[in-house]
A and B are shown apart, each in its own frame.
Chain A
Amino acid sequence: MVLLESGFSSPRNDVFPAGLRVLVVDDDPTWLKILEKMLKKCSYEVTTCGLARDALNLLREKKDGYDIVISDVNMPDMDGFKLLEHVGLEMDLPVIMMSVDGETSRVMKGVQHGACDYLLKPIRMKELRNIWQHVFRKKIHEVRDIESLEGIESIQMTRSGCDLFDDGHFLGGDDTTSGRKRKDADNKHEDRDLSDPSSTKKARVIWTVDLHQKFVKAVNQIGFDKVGPKKILDLMNIPRLTRENVASHLQKYRLYLSRLQKESDIKNSFIGMKHSDPPNNSTASFGLHKPSNTMPDDVLNGTYSFPMNNSLVQTVDVKGQGDRHGIASVPVAEPKGALSKDIPDSHKTKSSQMSFDHSLGSAASGVSFASFGSTTPARYSWTEIPEIQSKVEYEPVQPENGFNQLPLPEPSMIEKEVNRSRTEVKPLFDEYRSNLVGHSSPADLVDLFPVQSKNQTLKNQVFDPIFATKSSIKTKDISQNCLADSEFAQRNLNATGREVTLASLPEDLQIFWLQGDGYPMNIALQNFDFPEYNDPALIDETPFYSYDAPRLDHEHFFDPTEYYAIDQGLFV
């Protein structure tokens, strides 16, 4: 019996798979009841959910509270595939999809989105009895990843320690000898590991905001089109981070970006039509540039509170705030080219920055303006919004642009704002569509950031299209702007560190905080100190864990189809 360490809070080692903690999500009450019964018969521990949002909440609240998720594909509040992605990114749990529709294309889609299995309804007992294999497989892979990826020396040191240490050569200066020894030890080590995976310590990497920032920075430095896990790893220079960790993270990042791109593409055409005028309500989604009409005094005044816990804040409701934020933050950039683009026009940058800031909060923009102005070549943007047809033109305005109405809050305020907006997680695209207006209250934003959020990208993606419509910022500019401001980025990163719960965002809360989501993208490694974020309650001081099984192709070009959640936990 494999001892499954870390991440399993329940002591089920001896009786695995009994006690497997399953979360079932299905909007059909009949099926929910049946599945619950069936799973109980398998001696699993079952939790049922009728809504995808509830499921996500549960998952976020109880990190490591579940071993596997089974979800229906068709649900009213959220597409099952989206849920699948969220879970994969944020919690990295195996997810099984179910449907009464067995069409190959659907099944394929499921697999593409990362489902480890796709069951057809009606589901038989024997199919459920076997789901534990997915859990087991993931654990094995994680273990193996660690094994193979960690530096040989370190592995040897930790595992076969006695052998190596006893041999002076290993530590000594004789290269050939030590090299040989290393190899031998390594072989020994691998053999041992493979035969007894339970003896390996699994370290799961928690991609904290900081870590992600470093990652993004590294990616930017290398150049989007030249990026590869090894290079990133070297640049990042984080001890104990393995190439595998970076590779899988990179893959997610790519997926995220590509998704954003796709969505923005869709949105662009969609938006093109709706261009005309922003809904005349308080939730005006357009108008990045609107003079902070809706700029939230309330935002500034701290109507928001950072939810320190992961409970969702569902009430996002900052009038018009959302879009400001969202829009601004959309790091629109060419996945390939944008990275190295310099901000040609700092003026422009400013204005775009402004937009951002608008969304963030006037204060924030004010603050970040300066930094934005300084130009860092847009390294990369999380998402690319190719043809953003923003109606709102960014005027090359002074920093106060848009802020006119908002008094500049103190930095801390600004930070908060920024964070808030940044962290705003976009609700699902679907939600967006229904409500182009993005507004989010700070509180919501914060709340939306669960500690271990991984789906920043998802949010961003959702926003992108909206962002495109609303903002007049060109994609490139935006990205540049976004990137330019490391501080800004930092904030975003931090903000995004909190996971924004997409699900929890009400429809109205369509925050277009791409920027925020763009988070890690160009987050400089500045230490943005967000008091709220530093709340220990939020910070997940989990030990170093490594991510799951290696991605298929870490080296492949950045394909932003994966979004990436930034985990608030610390990379210990």
Chain B
Amino acid sequence: MDLVKLQRQLVDYKASLYHECVLDEQFTQLQQLQDENNPDFVVEVVSLFFEDSERLLNELTKALEQQSIDFKRVDAHVHQLKGSSSSIGAQRVQKSCIAFRNYCEEQNVEGCLACLQQVRLEYSLVKTKLEYMFQLEQQILSSGGSIPI
């Protein structure tokens, strides 16, 4: 693919992510932290996020499957997920965690389950989008180009 085209595509794609609040300013901060010393910084951090989130989502699923749900535990996990998502700027994930925590406080099982669904969805969304974005970047780099800021 044409390098310039690729680069434009990337720029537009990123813009849309921000526009849709899939990502927020924190992600920009992350990108600014990347430098020659750490050329893969963003990818590394995001990978960590993916790992941690998947773990948390599994924990959440398990916790909500229990006969007698430990809401404190569920809340703790959601809190962690919220913190994690804030680290890379996954705004929608973060916001869905807030709603989730409210249901935990109310000990509302249905509410929690619904929120878990929502969080999963948002997480999948951000994951897919980020992965695609990294792909684009990779393509640009391997074509000899540089990533437009």
Chain A residues near B (Cβ < 8 Å): 27-31, 33-34, 37-38, 41, 72, 74, 99-101, 121-122, 124-125
Interface string of B90-130 (1 = CB under 8 A from A): 00000000000000000000000000000000000000000
B79 pairs with A28, CB closer than 8 A = no
A122 pairs with B29, CB closer than 8 A = yes
Contacts A28-B80, A29-B48, A74-B80 given; does A37 touch B87 at CB 8 Å: no
Q: Name the contact of B87 in the complex, choosing from A30, A41, A125 (C-beta under 8 A).
A: A30
Q: Name the contact of B26 in the complex, choosing from A27, A37, A41, A122 (C-beta under 8 A).
A: A122
Complex Cα–Cα for A549 and B84 (A): 35
Q: Say how far B63's CB is from chain A's closest CB, in angstroms.
A: 15
A29 pairs with B52, CB closer than 8 A = yes
A124 pairs with B29, CB closer than 8 A = yes
Q: Name the contact of A122 in the complex, choosing from B49, B76, B89 (C-beta under 8 A).
A: B89
A37 pairs with B89, CB closer than 8 A = no
Q: List 12 A-B contacts (CB under 8 A).
A: A28-B52, A28-B87, A29-B52, A30-B49, A30-B87, A31-B87, A34-B45, A34-B87, A99-B83, A100-B83, A124-B29, A125-B29
Number of residue pairs A-B, CB distance < 8 angstroms:
52
Residues of A within 8 A of B57 (CB): none
A30 pairs with B84, CB closer than 8 A = yes
B44 within 8 A of partner (CB): yes
Given contacts A29-B48, A31-B84, A34-B30, 19 further A-B contacts (CB under 8 A): A28-B83, A30-B45, A30-B87, A30-B88, A31-B83, A31-B87, A33-B44, A33-B45, A33-B48, A34-B33, A38-B33, A72-B83, A74-B79, A74-B80, A100-B82, A121-B86, A121-B87, A122-B26, A125-B29
Contacts A30-B52, A30-B87, A122-B87 given; does A37 touch B41 at CB 8 Å: yes
Complex Cα–Cα for A101 and B101 (A): 11
Q: Which partner residue on chain B sits nearest A125 by CB separation? A: B29
Residues of A within 8 A of B51 (CB): 29
Complex Cα–Cα for A41 and B45 (A): 16
B66 within 8 A of partner (CB): no
Residues of B within 8 A of A41 (CB): 33
Contact residues of B between 50 and 87, Cβ < 8 Å to A: 51-52, 76, 79-80, 82-84, 86-87
Residues of A within 8 A of B79 (CB): 74, 100-101
Q: Say how far B102's CB is from chain A's closest CB, in angstroms.
A: 13
Interface size class of B (residues with CB under 8 A): 20 to 34
Q: Say how far A406's CB is from chain B's closest CB, in angstroms.
A: 42
Q: Name the contact of B38 in the complex, choosing from A37, A101, A122 (C-beta under 8 A).
A: A37
Residues of A within 8 A of B45 (CB): 30, 33-34
Complex Cα–Cα for A30 and B2 (A): 34
Complex Cα–Cα for A101 and B45 (A): 21
Residues of B within 8 A of A125 (CB): 29
Q: Say how far B72's CB is from chain A's closest CB, in angstroms.
A: 12
Complex Cα–Cα for A100 and B29 (A): 17
Q: Name the contact of A30 in the complex, choosing from B33, B38, B48, B76 (C-beta under 8 A).
A: B48
Complex Cα–Cα for A550 and B80 (A): 36
Residues of B within 8 A of A124 (CB): 29
Q: Say how far B107's CB is from chain A's closest CB, in angstroms.
A: 19
Contacts A122-B26, A122-B29 given; does A100 touch B86 at CB 8 Å: yes
Residues of A within 8 A of B87 (CB): 28, 30-31, 34, 121-122
Residues of A within 8 A of B89 (CB): 122
Residues of B within 8 A of A31 (CB): 83-84, 87
Complex Cα–Cα for A125 and B28 (A): 12
Q: Which partner residue on chain B sits nearest A75 by CB separation? A: B80
Which of A27, A31, A38, A74: most chain B CB closer than 10 A?
A31
Residues of A within 8 A of B84 (CB): 28, 30-31
Q: Which partner residue on chain B sits nearest A38 by CB separation? A: B33
Residues of B within 8 A of A100 (CB): 79, 82-83, 86
A122 pairs with B80, CB closer than 8 A = no
Complex Cα–Cα for A30 and B42 (A): 11
Q: Which partner residue on chain A sits nearest B101 by CB separation? A: A101
Q: Say how far A41's CB is from chain B's closest CB, in angstroms.
A: 7
Residues of A within 8 A of B48 (CB): 29-30, 33
Complex Cα–Cα for A37 and B83 (A): 17
